[in-house]
Amino acid sequence: MTQTRPPARLTRRHATLALLGAAAGCGVQTKDKAMAKDDADPATIPDYDKWQLPNEEWKKRLSPEAYAVLRKEATERPGTSALNNEKRGGVFSCAGCGFDLFKSDHKFESGTGWPSFWDFIPGAIGTKTDFKLIVPRTEYHCARCGGHQGHVFKDGPAPTGLRYCNNGVALTFKPA
């Protein structure tokens, strides 16, 4: 005699995880207004159209590590960027297109192993919510080329209370 199992029950937890997974797989993006105070209008960004490149062109222009972070939203290992120790005055720019993102006086030591900032240059970044770790996080990227920079968290210093945790390979530094 063959035994049959009762049908599996879909719990709330399973339903929630399935919905989050589906949303992540479908590329659903939402905005966190507290952190996305200044998503830029492409019409206001210099050379915006010039930097809308196909992936094959990005592969030619970037190192494999920079390509993985900027175009595929990878994360570099903590403590590997020389920019962690950069203390000079200047500007931190996107390593993909050179667009200025952060002023050096907004940088702080977060103890995370990644360059961290408490604010960005107005109009320099865009944000979206990602669900890659199931828990929603706010991802931010260069407003000009769309290159992934890192994630923003609500555990930074005054006056914003935010920590823009950046991949060092996604940045270059221009001394003042």
pLDDT tens, position by position, 117-154 = 999 999 999 998 888 777 888 999 999 899 999 999 99
Residue 151 belongs to a domain: yes
Phi, psi of 18 (to 5 degrees): -65, -45
CATH number at residue 76: 2.170.150.20
pTM above 0.85, yes or no: no
Residue 19 belongs to a domain: no
Parts of the chain with a pLDDT under 50: 5-8, 10-11, 13-37
pLDDT the model gives residue 142: 94
Options 94, 97, 142, 165, the catalytic residue: 165
165 is catalytic: yes
The tally of domains found in the chain comes to 1
**C-alpha dihedral over 55, 142, 172, 162, to 10 degrees?**
-140
Tokens in use for 13? 């937890």
Omega of the bond prior to 6 within 30 degrees of 0, cis?
no
Residue 3 belongs to a domain: no
Residue 93 belongs to a domain: yes
Q: Which domain holds residue 40?
A: 29-175
Residue 73 belongs to a domain: yes
pLDDT the model gives residue 1: 53
Residue 97 belongs to a domain: yes
* Distance separating alpha carbons of residues 4 and 2, to the nearest angstrom: 6
Residue 67 belongs to a domain: yes
Residue 40 belongs to a domain: yes
pLDDT the model gives residue 133: 75
